[in-house]
Amino acid sequence: MPPKLFKKLVIAVSGTFPGYRQGRNFCDVQFLIEFFKSTTRELTRHSYAGDLKAIVERHGATFTSSVGTDCTHLIATQKEADKKGAKLSLDWLLDSDKAKKPVSEAPYRFGASHSNRNSQADPAKSEKKRSAKAVQDTDDDRSNKKPKQIMEDAQMITAEKAAKVRVRVDEYYHSNEHTWQVFIDDSGLIWDATLNLTVSAANNNKFYLIQILNSKDGSRYQTWTRWGRVGERGQSVLLGDGTLDSAKKQFEKKFKDKSGLAWKDRLNSPKNNKYTFIERNYEESDDEDEKSDNKLVKQPSNIPASKLPAPVQNVISFIFNQKYFLETMAQMSYDANKLPLGKLSKRTLMAGYETLKELAELATKPSMAMSKYGMQLRPAMEQLSNRYFTTIPHVFGRNRPPVLDNQAYIKREIELLETLTDMEITNSILKDASKMEDANPLDSQYAGLGMQEMTPLDHASEEFRELEKYLSGTRGSTHGVKYKVIDIFRIERQGEHDRFKSSSYAGLKNSNRRLLWHGSRSTNYGGILSQGLRIAPPEAPVSGYMFGKGVYFADMSSKSANYCWSHNSDHKALLLLGDVELGDPIYELYDSDYNAGENAKKEGKIATLGKGRSIPAGWKDAGCIHPHLKGIQVPDADSGTTDHKTDQGYLLYNEYIVYDVAQIRLRYLFFVDMR
């Protein structure tokens, strides 16, 4: 049982939230940690609309009909903010659920704390100046709510947090770092700015760093700046006469010169041909980073032995191997120094998705270049590519930044953003596990995944042999991969069984369940196992997915193995087998269709089959693997493959796509050496 982070909190809801129902008797809430640990991946803000009471009750919370004297927190609308008690916006509840832990309360409070936070940088005024596009919330159903504006600025932290956080001084600052620190003013504003500018035509891929540094004794202040090409050290200079007033003036002047925006308006739409402010997340990990840099921090002397079976220890160590994180980011040209894991804000990721969406639309409809952007196709694509690489920093060395002028380039960048999202989740679990000093690190990391079951199979068992046969017997003739199974685990994610049983797919009259493969990079599995397989967010371009936004599976193991990128993880990889409800008949296609999900739904179908040429010759009941799989179909590896003779299409192998994660139950995890 995971620790109860919220066991002392009693939370109430007051007010009316458009798109939500409080549910019957929705008031006092004694939160349990299961509320977060069992959160499934589809439970994002885009699926929150509905019964708020049900959202919490499904995770074990209880409710009463009134706000009692033991109520410690109130989720409220602005209308309710004049009443007594700790009053928080709805975003606190939803963001805490998504983060799987209680987030800082202060940014979500109504009343005096809000006005105090705005007094320094005055973001409320700058909000009014911002274009609709710039302030558009990524969660469409709640984009106009005033409480969300409180969370617009990640640069602002609470006074309590400011006393603990030590924002990292630039690594190239020449003085003794332990005598200087990044300045955080009394309002919680962090005076630290990273700016980026990419212009492909001029072969520009530049950064500009600005920090106010103050001596730890509080006697001196100075503005440190460093600039150059991304991935290089560049040049640097110190500014100011040692006073805080001078340091602020120098900081604000440099920021305005480079970005075209006042420091207080840093979140406004970027100016053309100017640097863009890159928002960083300071809330999560800067204090931990400071600890990790301090060589005087004591390491646990007596680490308890792990309680996990040895095969589970091995696979957990593999999933959380930070070396693979670095290799993956380098292979995808991402600048991990500019925005390391833990510092990448959700808004930055969503801004990246939105730019890729515009690029994909432009690639599909070239006429939009003139009608929407007032220029020819190539300059329009270059402008959008520059915006993307400015928002999501990449290292290109001295090479010219590319123009994302085709779907293959765009697809690669979509994969990067998906990978960064999962690595952020994995990194968060790793951080939380590191705080549990009385437990073995592997045990803490495993607990962070929130798995219901991860049982290593006996290699001599019939279950193992049947699964191994399915793996080795479904290698495509065009795939040269060779497998050596290290271990196979029977798995169950918390809540997936109940989710399926309570869905409309349970007991489907035209049921067609199959045991199918899904592959992904090793760095993605912290996110996948803790939150489940996920459908791309609305901000992602639909054209980046051959058969629309959904979860993709295969009946040939080697097709899924191609998505594992095992060469980035010492030639080892993880593969999943999912129990997937496809329905009968399936919506069948021979060629790509970005709107396949919508078209399938119009025909009353719940899945798409992209028909390949090389297909399993036969299928059998998966009950031969394990009794709990009876009724599910699996390819008969003994029958081999056959050619599906057709002049249509170009797919070599089948692809199965579902558009609702409730159709999926993960059953097995393979740990495999791939050569």
Least confident of 34-48, 179-193, 270-284, 618-632: 34-48
Residue 112 predicted with pLDDT over 60: no
pLDDT at 130 over 60: no
Sign of CA dihedral 230, 231, 237, 238: positive
pLDDT of residue 397: 92
- What are the tokens at 602? 């119009």
Task: Report residue 109's pLDDT band, with 50, 70 and 90 as the boundaries.
Answer: low
Catalytic residue list contains 492: no
From the list 116, 196, 114, the residue with the least C-alpha distance to 152 is: 114
In this structure, are residues 123 and 264 in contact, taking their beta carbons and an 8 Å threshold?
A: yes
- State the Cα–Cα distance between residues 442 and 425, nearest whole angstrom: 16
* Residue 334 in this model has a pLDDT that exceeds 70: yes
| pLDDT on residue 393 | 93
Residue ranges of alpha helices (H) inside 182-285 are: 244-259
For residue 101, the model assigns a pLDDT of 58
Handedness of CA 347, 230, 359, 421 (dihedral sign): negative
| C-alpha triplet 34, 35, 41: angle, nearest 5° | 105
* Confidence at 79, pLDDT banded by 50, 70, 90: very low
Catalytic residue among 252, 279, 382, 655: 655
Statement: residue 442 has pLDDT above 60: yes
Question: Which pLDDT tens digit goes with each residue over 377-396?
Answer: 999 999 999 999 999 999 99
Residue range 394-434, pLDDT digits in tens: 999 999 999 999 999 999 999 999 999 999 999 999 989 98
What six digits make up the tokens of 301?
């002397």
257 burial type by CB count under 10 A (0-12 exposed, 13-18 middle, 19+ buried)? exposed
**How far is residue 610's CA from residue 559's CA, in Å, rounded to a whole number?**
13
Give 592-640 as a 3 state SS string: CCCCHHHHHHHCCCCEEEECCCEEECCEEEHHHCCHHHCCCEEECHHHC
Q: How far is CA 75 from CA 17, 72, 83, 585, 589, in A?
A: 10, 10, 12, 45, 47
- pLDDT for residue 38: 39
Q: What are φ and ψ of residue 232, in 5° steps?
A: -120, 160
What are the beta bridge partners of residue 222?
A: 213
What's the pLDDT band for 139 if we cut at 50, 70, 90?
Answer: very low
The pair of structure tokens assigned to 671 is 């740990």
List where CATH 1.20.142.10 sits in the chain.
298-441
Question: What type of residue is 145?
Answer: K
How confident is the model at residue 631, as a pLDDT?
Answer: 97
Which tokens sit at 420?
Answer: 């960064």
* Alpha-helical regions (H) of 285-406: 286-293, 310-319, 322-331, 346-364, 368-373, 377-391
Amino acid 281: pLDDT:
81
Burial per residue of 7-23, b for 16 or more beta-carbon CB atoms within 10 angstroms, e otherwise: eeebbbbbbebeebebb
- The overall average pLDDT reported for the chain is 81
pLDDT of residue 162: 59
**Which amino acid is located at 345 in the chain?**
S
pLDDT above 90 covers a percentage of the chain that reads: 63
Domain with CATH 3.90.228.10 in the chain: 450-674
Angstrom distance (rounded) from CA 258 to CA 82: 42
Strand order in the sheet with 655-658: 551-553, 655-658, 607-610, 587-589
Q: Which residues pair with 87 in a beta bridge?
A: 74
Does 192 score more than 90 pLDDT? yes
Task: Output the pLDDT for position 342.
Answer: 74
In the chain, helix, strand, coil percent, each to 5? 35, 20, 45
Candidates 1.20.120.1200, 1.10.540.10, 3.30.460.10, 1.20.142.10; CATH matching 298-441: 1.20.142.10
Q: What angle do helix axes 407-434 and 441-449 make, rounded to 10 degrees?
A: 130
Instruction: Using alpha carbons, select from 525, 499, 576, 505 the residue that is nearest to residue 39.
Output: 499
Q: Residue 10 carries which DSSP code? A: B
Largest CA distance in the chain: 80
- Give the position of tokens 């997936």: 496
Residue 456 sits at φ, ψ, to 5 deg, of -70, 135
Summarize pLDDT for 490-507 with one digit per residue, the tens.
Answer: 999 999 999 999 999 998
DSSP string, 240-265: SSSSHHHHHHHHHHHHHHHHSS-GGG
* Mean pLDDT value across residues 52-72: 51
Question: Tell me, which fold does domain 450-674 have in CATH?
Answer: Phosphoenolpyruvate Carboxykinase; domain 3 (3.90.228)
CA–CA separation, 431 vs 423, rounded Å?
12
User: Which of 119-133, 153-167, 269-283 tops mean pLDDT?
Assistant: 269-283
More confident residue, 243 or 348: 243
pLDDT band at 646 (very low <50, low <70, confident <90, very high): confident
Tell me the pLDDT band of 33, cut-offs 50, 70 and 90: very low
Contacts for 585 with CB less than 8 Å, ≥ 6 apart? 510, 605
Strands, E, within 381-527: which ranges? 451-456, 483-493, 513-519
Q: Is 185 in contact with 120 (CB distance < 8 Å)?
A: yes
317 CB contacts (<8 Å, ≥6 apart)?
442
